[in-house]
Chain A
Amino acid sequence: MTLKQYQVVKITFVVFLAVIFSQLIDGKNYLLPIGVMMAGSLIMMLLRRRVNGVVADERDYATGGKAALLAMQIYGWLAASSMFVFYGLKDTNPAFEPIGMTLAFSTCLLMLIYSAIFRYYNRVKLMDGKLIYTVAVLVFFLIMIVVAFKNF
């Protein structure tokens, strides 16, 4: 499979998955979409292996890094400012409060994940305690998820 063929197949497949995903959510089915997403990721991984030639090189990774950082900053600012608006308008509609809280927590989670991954690549990757760091971060996030669900 050539790179161009792979890109066409990828876009078609993503559109197809998005349609199935939204239809399942619309039909109040919440478990099947997870299975669809996992199967989709697996199929994409297998397709990627069949491509002859380079799918992504160092320039793509550098561009991807810059784009991800910018996207994160834009999302952070948008979510934080929207959160204040939603939280300020909670008296007009009670549904605004959970939306504001979700935006605030998702921003915090995004920043934490970014910081953990950044620290890993910036320092920890070169050190001996890679496994300890990874386990500690996973345990930290697990505790956060448990606490969040307990308070929910």
Chain B
Amino acid sequence: MANRIKEFRNKLNLTQDDLAKLAGVRRETIVFLEQDKYNPSLKLAHDVAKALKSSIPEIFNLE
């Protein structure tokens, strides 16, 4: 599942640690998400999208 987390995070000038704190996960999880090595739950996808002031379809691409 491709995603645009890094792009949106850079737009908001957030570090991986900042995003992790906002989404309520560990920094490593953000690293795995950005590298497409982990498929998040719906809740985590929602929390990440919310932290990046965006929506799930904008951040995550299921195709």
From 10 to 65 in chain A, residues with beta carbon under 8 angstroms from any chain B beta carbon are 53-54, 56-60
Chain A interface size band reads: under 10
Q: How many A-B residue pairs have CB under 8 A?
A: 26
- Report 15 cross-chain contacts, Cβ distance below 8 Å, ordered by A residue: A3-B26, A53-B21, A53-B26, A54-B20, A54-B24, A57-B24, A57-B25, A57-B26, A57-B29, A57-B44, A58-B44, A59-B26, A59-B29, A59-B38, A60-B26
Q: How many residues of B contact A (CB 8 A)?
A: 13
Question: Which residues of B approach A to under 8 Å, CB–CB?
Answer: 20-21, 24-26, 28-29, 32, 38, 40-41, 43-44
When distances are taken between beta carbons in the complex, the residues of chain B under 8 Å from A3 are 26
Taking A57-B44, A59-B25, A60-B26 as given, write out 4 further A-B residue pairs in contact, using a Cβ cutoff of 8 Å, ordered by the A residue number.
A3-B26, A54-B26, A58-B43, A58-B44
B20 adjacent to A58 (CB under 8 Å): no
Bound: A75/B29 CA distance, A: 29
